[in-house]
Every structure is written in structure tokens, then in C-alpha cells.
Amino acid sequence: MTGTIVNTIAVIIGSLIGIFLKHGLPEKMADTLMKGLGLCTFYLGVTGLMKGENSLILILSVVTGTLIGEGLALEDRINHIGIWLETRFSSKNTGKQSIAEGFVTASLLFCVGAMAIVGSLQSGLTGNHEMIFNKSILDFVAAIIFASSLGIGVIFSAVFVFLYQGSITLAAQWIAPFLTEATVNEMTCVGSVIILGLALNMLGITKLKIMNYVPAIFIPIVLCNFM
């Protein structure tokens, strides 16, 4: 769990720095920065799409995952958590973005990529944390940037990073046989579609319930082993 713990701490420290910087940003500048981050997020989504090789797996994953997410009302549950946190940290959340938005945005960006999956597997199987350490540096910088725009909600994504990557690390010896290179590529492709939706939300173009699509990321694990 060393790699996961380091990654979690990196997100927390980066978020704290970003929150501190946010207090010195005028609202207009914060909004412009938000749009710029949305464009960068859109780019990340487009590049990740190139990993996919089977469009049918993408379609089935999104459809099935969305049905699961809607059935579990994941977006509503996250928003309830955000509202609960809002009542306890409202004095620190000075921007117009909600805690839930910062939490969801950062959590998805930190966790849907191949580095999170492959790096966690390496940590659990071989004790090699190099990839997760490299990811921690990237997440540290990203946390500063996103927290400076989205506020305190970003810091709570550290909990999601810890639970998500920690679970993969601890279960590595059982799930590794199912996570072939092709499977990870398809998972990255599906995650990138979700990232594109996230980018459109950040740009103010759509208001998609992004968390309801998240289960789709894991559907390729099943499809790639039976198709």
C-alpha cells in the first residue's frame, strides 16, 4: 500500500496548496481557469480514446454501466455527500463550484487512467511502486491546479484515490489474470469517454450526471474475457 499512501498524501498536499492559492484568485480569473482546465480535460479524453480497439465493447460498457449507475443513483448519492460536507466546510468553500463537483471531477481524473490500474497492480504483485510514484507527482501538480479553481472539494478526492487504488493493490493477485493489456486499454477508452463528458460539463456545455457513468469503466473486465 506504500504507493497508494504516497499518492493519497500527494493529492492532499497539492489540494491544500491549491486551496490556499484560490483565495487570491478573482472570481473572473477562476472561471477562466476553469474553462482552460476543461479544454485540457477534453484533450485528455480524446487522446485516451485512441487506446480502444473494439467499439462494440465501448458501446456495451457505456450502456450497461449507465444502467447500473442510474439504478444505484450514484450521482445523487455523491451530491448528498457533497451537501453533507458543504454544511461542515462551507466557510472554506468560497468559490462558486460545489464540493461535490470538485470531488467528482478530481476523482475521475486521478483514477480512470491506465497508470492508476497498472501501477496499483505492480505495487500489489511485485512491490514496485515506481509507476504510482510517478503518478503521484502528476496528481500533485493537477491537484494544485484543480483546487485553485474548484476549491476544497478536490481534497476529498484523496479518499477516492486511496480506496480505489488500495483496493486494486490488495486484490492484485486475484484480478491480475483478468486485466490483460487489451482489457486495460478498453477500460482506458471507456474512461476517456467519461472524461470527455466531464470536460463538457466543465466548459458549461452540458450538465451530465457523470458519476452515473462510472460503473462503465469496469464492464470491459467482463466483456474482454468473454468476447
DSSP secondary structure, 56-101, as one string: HHHHHHHHHHHHHHHHHTHHHHHHHHHHHHHHHHTTT--SSS-HHH
pTM listed for this prediction: 0.78
Q: What is the mean pLDDT of residues 2-14?
A: 94
pLDDT at 149 over 70: yes
CB distance 120 to 4 below 8 Å = yes
What does the pLDDT read at residue 91?
54
- Which of 27-31, 60-64, 179-183, 219-223 is least confident? 27-31
What does the pLDDT read at residue 98?
67
Q: Which amino acid is at 31?
A: D
What does the pLDDT read at residue 162?
95
Number of domains in the chain: 1
Instruction: Say which residues have a Cβ less than 8 Å from residue 24's Cβ, sequence separation at least 6.
Output: none
Cβ burial 145-159 (10 Å sphere, 16+ → b, else e): bbbbbbbbbbbbbbe
Instruction: Say which residues have a Cβ less than 8 Å from residue 183's Cβ, sequence separation at least 6.
Output: 220, 221, 224, 225
CB distance 189 to 58 below 8 Å = yes
What does the pLDDT read at residue 96?
47
Instruction: Say which residues have a Cβ less than 8 Å from residue 27's Cβ, sequence separation at least 6.
Output: 95, 96
Domain that holds residue 47: 2-223
What does the pLDDT read at residue 57?
94
pLDDT at 227 over 90: no
What does the pLDDT read at residue 62?
95
Q: Which residue has the higher pLDDT, 142 or 84?
A: 142
Cα–Cα distances in Å, from 127 out to 66, 118, 123, 159, 161?
Answer: 35, 12, 4, 22, 18
Gap between the Cα atoms of 202 and 83, Å rounded: 20
For the chain, the straight-line distance linking the first and the last C-alpha, in angstroms and rounded, comes to 33
Q: For residue range 28-73, list pLDDT tens digits in order.
A: 777 787 788 888 888 888 888 888 889 999 999 999 999 999 999 9
